[in-house]
Amino acid sequence: MNAILRNTLPVRNPRTGEVDYHITPPTAEEMSAKAKAMRAAQVEWAVAPIEHRVAVMRKWADEIEKNKAAITKAESADTGRYRGAKETPDAVIWGIRGWADRAGDIIQKAMLEGTSSIMPHIKYRSQLKPYPMLGVISPWNFPMMLSVIDATPALLAGCAAMIKPSEVTPRFVEPLMETIQKVPELAKVLTYVVGGGETGQHLIENVDIVCFTGSVPTGRKVAEACARRFIPVFLELGGKDPVIVTENADLERATDAVLRGTVYATGQICFSIERVYVQEKIHDAFVDKLVKKAEQIELNYPDIHKGHIGPFIFGKQAGIVDEQLDDAVKHGAKIRTGGKSQNLGGGLYMRPTVVTDVKQDMKIMQDETFGPVIPVMKYKTKAEAVTLANDTIFGLSGAVIAGNDEEAYELGSQIDAGGISLQDTTLTGAILRDAEKTSFNLSGMGGSRMGPASILRFFRKKALMTNTLAPQDMREIRELPLA
């Protein structure tokens, strides 16, 4: 079918507000045909030694390095920010090479062999079979990086991978696909498809396992679709991450960590800090210092190469954040600095916004914000702080900044969330290949995307058992007497 006759989707530029890009989703038939070809290629990919897959993935990392300038340009247009876009290819290269270093070891350690502890005459050996086809549905906030965070270990495990990035930020796909095409062995088992919700539905119909990163409402739909097909799904969803600042905390350290953890990348990170609980004796001093530091943060408008905070990537998100601020003020909260979003040159920007006199039942303390807003609330006792931190439908991550490491650990161990940063905020990326974490409540479902489990998720596990004695004669088996 001629591309002109196909339904195209418009893509908005976050800095200008103008539509300057279009994507053409594949048809259901095209996706099925592509998936069929990838499944055929995956057979050879999976049986190849891990060393082969590692070598191919290293070639891909090299090709990404060669094409960094084009990828950075596209990612910058997608997100409206330059520094983060420039860092993204390096982060992806680092991730690929890091997994290439570790994958063989992790897989080898998972291959169990021994003698049954129940029946000593039975020997066993495990076998790991990769799921043939992974489907990834990734979000718009870190478009390239989050599109490969699950696909990289899956490919090393022996899966093929079909990735659908957000239709809000699809520009990076074109230069990234160029790097994939430069590695023919990889191009057979890795591809991107662009489109909206319908494309995501078609993807689920063509794969054997799904990884989704995004909102809770969409994640629920993805989980239901996977359940109907009886295929596993891993969900990394929203958060409303708390930080507890204790009476003995260093105010310089605490305000630096909270400011960075709330407004970095315009607060458009799933593990951004969105609730700040400060012991009442230091509350006022904390807020005064935080406000002063927040007022030093600059928007990177009009020059994308200057300043600290870019525009909202998804225009509708600015409206969500504005509505939360309106609701908070209506119910008695005070905006100490910053305020609602501004239209600058067509892009929607928001300065770091410190809000005090908030109450726990306000939308700004309950609903995911995903913007550079810092609501600060007093607490009296540590028990109250923990109760407030756990008063949420989410449970992605959280933080504690205390007078010493032991106090921070004591409180952090009581917060119901998967990743807890101590004496800082947003440290989750540090454990990417080391420790495992899962989400609490509505923040996700399935095994850890970090640590050894990240790659082992993509295997089905078999046990091969050998009887070293003659099989038991059925004629010698007697029913147990009734009690």
CA 473 from chain centre, in angstroms, equals 55
| 236 classed as catalytic | yes
Residues 140/128, Cβ–Cβ less than 8 Å: no
229 CB-near residues (< 8 Å, 6+ apart):
204, 205
Residues 355/336, Cβ–Cβ less than 8 Å: yes
Q: Which one from 159, 211, 226, 270 is the annotated catalytic residue?
A: 270
Interatomic CA distance for residues 384 and 364, integer angstroms = 19
Q: Which one from 63, 167, 185, 236 is the annotated catalytic residue?
A: 236
Q: Where are the beta strands (DSSP E) in 92-220?
A: 113-115, 122-130, 133-137, 160-164, 190-192, 209-213
Burial (CB < 10 A; 0-12, 13-18, 19+), residue 431, is: middle
| 211 classed as catalytic | no
Interatomic CA distance for residues 160 and 131, integer angstroms = 8
355 CB-near residues (< 8 Å, 6+ apart):
325, 328, 333, 334, 335, 336, 364, 373, 374, 375, 376
Residues 314/339, Cβ–Cβ less than 8 Å: no
Residues 71/148, Cβ–Cβ less than 8 Å: no
407 CB-near residues (< 8 Å, 6+ apart):
246, 248, 400
Dihedral sign for Cα atoms in the order 369, 374, 378, 383 = positive
Torsion of CA 326, 329, 334, 337, to 10 degrees: 10
Residues 42/158, Cβ–Cβ less than 8 Å: yes
Q: Give the tokens for residue 2.
A: 């001629």
Active site residues: 236, 270
